[in-house]
Each structure stands twice: as structure tokens, then as C-alpha cells.
């Protein structure tokens, strides 16, 4: 059987415009895995209030971080795709690598057709979410299942559930932090900020929060940090429902009052830099920290296409060939 790899990430608007953002948010926020409010209540709210008012504002945020080559998430994801394909080829492994997004383009359908055209009849799906969540990883599985409903011959496939405690992932994070410290010096606290989910999801069995804390513990141990030298928080909450706590923005405001004036921040849940890291963490939360009395603030970039990250992806994929 010929095996192919399907890398999957969340997705991005095609342009930093209100129209493109509205199209992207509409697809994203219609996903029942992301928002499970009854449709009769949610759809009028989404189309009548959220999309018309939120899209222009979010478009302006995208404009502030958009690269000349395009959306940072898309540019980095393409680099990851190319780097993984090259690493596999150098190892003598004939395995095409395609990129698909849960929302927007390239879609999962586009990526599957690319692999299918290459003669692939066995697929390793790698959602680039280190920690499993119903709102991300499970949504990828749903998308794949919908695609397969249209196939007469469903390919054999392996689905990588998560890699929150994978040794290569933890070591890649630690290497990134150490390199940053060597170049910029070391802050008084390492803050690990993860994308949040509603607390209710965890109460209903989503292991995301537990896996985030486990990642933090393993990274802190790898770096040799004492318990007071690191902290875990959750960002990007939306709506009035309680989300996983402590909240990143509230923590930013409080830290200077606790005597922490020099801060390093890393976002281990993001495999590629995007709006939530480049704008929300590197800009918005920096402003909160500095306005509250902070003196030095450093965002440590996501693993992106760093060699250690690509090697970790390769290890994840090759384990599924056995």
C-alpha cells in the first residue's frame, strides 16, 4: 500500500478583509464541535450580530499581522508541509505530504484529492494540535468522515489523536525556550498560555485541560524549573460562559503586582504562529502586562518549521507505518 500524510490545521481567511474573514468565521462558527448551542438560538445570533460586527474588527487584527507572502498560519503550514516531505524523502521514505484545513482552503477535500491523485491508498492523518480537544481534533475526524462517505473505496487510515507528552515535542519546546534565553536573557517567569475551551467541555469529558497541564509539567521538568518559575494559563475565551482558568489576560494584569516584572511567554498548543499568538499574545497581552507595571515582555515563537519540530512530526508519522 502507498501511504500519504495529511497534515491538518484550523485554517485562515484567504485575505485580511471583512468579507474574507466573514466567510471564514461563518464556516468555523457553524461547526457544532466548536459551538454546540442549539442552531435555532445560535444561527440568528451568529448571522445577525456576531458576523456583521466581529468580521470588520477581526479583519483589522489580521491586517496587523499579515505577511507579504500571505497569512502567517498558511505560510508556515506550507513550510511545514515542504520540510516534512523533504525529511521523509531524505530518509528514503516515499510518502507524499498534503496540507488540509478544517476551515477555508486548502480544504480537507482538496488535500485528499491531492493524495488520491498520487496513488495513495493509506493515509496518516496528523492534526497539528498537540493536545486533544473536541473543538479541534474531533472536528478534523468529523471532516474526514464526511469525505469518506463519498468514497466507494475508503482508504486505510491512521489518526494521530494527540502528542501532548511526546518526548520529541517536549524537547523541541525546551530547545526553543533555551535558544530564546541565550539570545534575549531570561525572565522571572515562564508563562505557558494555551488556547482555552469552555469549562463545560472538560466537565463533559474533554481531556484538553489535563493534557495542557501535563505538557507544562513535562516542559518545566525538561527545563529544570522550580514550581514558582512557571505558570499555565488559558487565552482566547469567547462569550459569557466560563472557560478554563486562570485566564491569560487577567494574569497579565496581576503579575506586576506580584513582583514579576520580566516575563517570557510561550504558547505550546499552537504548532504554527497565527492571529492568536502574533496579535493576541505578542501585542495585546504585552500591552496589558506593560501597562500594569511590567518592564520586559518576550513572546517565544511557536515551533513552526524548526528542524526539531519537523523531526517530531516525522517520528509521529513513521510510528504509524508499523
189-195 β-sheet, strand order: 230-235, 189-195, 262-266, 296-300
Instruction: State the alpha helices, DSSP H only, in the chain.
Output: 18-29, 39-45, 51-65, 72-90, 108-117, 137-148, 167-184, 199-203, 208-223, 248-254, 275, 286-291, 307-319
| Contact present, 158 and 126 (Cβ < 8 Å) | no
Nearest by Cα to 256 from 188, 315, 198, 162: 188
| Contact present, 165 and 212 (Cβ < 8 Å) | no
Q: Is 0.85 surpassed by the pTM of this model?
A: yes
Q: What is the DSSP letter of 266?
A: E
Residue with C-alpha cell 456576531?
Answer: 50
Coil, strand or helix at 129? coil
Nearest by Cα to 137 from 211, 189, 200: 211
pLDDT reported for residue 321: 87
pLDDT reported for residue 75: 98
Q: What is the DSSP letter of 299?
A: E
Coil, strand or helix at 189? strand
pLDDT reported for residue 167: 98
pLDDT reported for residue 240: 87
Series of mean pLDDT values for 10-residue runs along the chain (322 residues): 96 98 97 95 96 97 98 98 98 96 98 97 98 98 97 97 98 98 97 97 97 98 98 94 97 98 98 98 98 98 98 96 80
Q: What's the grid cell of residue 151?
A: 468514497
pLDDT reported for residue 226: 97
pLDDT reported for residue 322: 74
Nearest by Cα to 238 from 183, 198, 192: 198
pLDDT reported for residue 1: 85
Amino acid at each position: 500500500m502507498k501511504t500519504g500524510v495529511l497534515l491538518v490545521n484550523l485554517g485562515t481567511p484567504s485575505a485580511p478583509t471583512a468579507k474574507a474573514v466573514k466567510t471564514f468565521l461563518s464556516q468555523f462558527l457553524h461547526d457544532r464541535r466548536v459551538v454546540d448551542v442549539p442552531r435555532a438560538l445560535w444561527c440568528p445570533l451568529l448571522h445577525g450580530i456576531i458576523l456583521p460586527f466581529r468580521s470588520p474588527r477581526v479583519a483589522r487584527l489580521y491586517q496587523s499581522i499579515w505577511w507579504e507572502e500571505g497569512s502567517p498560519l498558511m505560510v508556515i503550514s506550507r513550510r511545514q508541509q515542504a520540510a516534512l516531505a523533504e525529511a521523509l524523502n531524505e530518509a528514503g521514505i516515499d510518502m507524499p505530504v498534503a496540507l488540509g484545513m478544517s476551515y477555508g482552503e486548502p480544504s480537507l477535500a482538496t488535500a485528499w484529492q491531492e493524495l488520491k491523485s498520487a496513488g495513495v491508498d493509506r493515509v496518516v492523518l496528523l492534526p497539528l494540535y498537540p493536545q486533544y480537544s473536541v473543538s479541534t481534533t474531533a472536528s478534523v475526524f468529523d471532516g474526514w468522515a464526511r469525505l469518506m462517505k463519498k468514497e466507494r473505496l475508503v482508504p486505510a487510515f491512521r489518526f494521530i489523536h494527540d502528542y501532548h507528552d511526546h518526548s520529541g515535542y517536549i524537547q523541541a519546546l525546551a530547545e526553543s525556550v533555551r535558544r530564546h534565553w541565550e539570545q534575549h536573557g531570561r525572565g522571572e517567569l515562564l508563562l505557558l498560555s494555551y488556547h482555552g475551551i469552555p469549562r463545560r467541555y472538560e466537565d463533559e469529558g474533554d481531556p484538553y485541560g489535563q493534557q495542557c497541564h501535563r505538557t507544562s509539567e513535562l516542559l518545566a521538568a525538561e527545563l529544570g524549573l522550580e514550581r514558582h518559575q512557571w505558570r499555565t494559563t488559558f487565552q482566547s475565551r469567547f462569550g459569557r460562559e466560563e472557560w478554563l482558568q486562570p485566564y491569560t489576560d487577567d494574569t497579565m494584569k496581576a503579575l506586576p503586582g506580584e513582583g514579576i516584572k520580566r516575563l517570557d511567554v510561550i504558547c505550546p498548543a499552537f504548532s504554527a504562529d497565527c492571529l492568536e499568538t502574533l496579535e493576541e499574545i505578542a501585542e495585546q497581552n504585552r500591552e496589558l502586562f506593560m501597562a500594569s507595571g511590567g518592564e520586559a515582555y518576550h513572546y517565544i515563537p511557536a515551533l513552526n518549521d524548526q528542524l526539531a519540530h519537523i523531526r517530531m512530526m516525522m517520528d509521529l508519522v513513521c510510528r504509524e507505518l508499523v
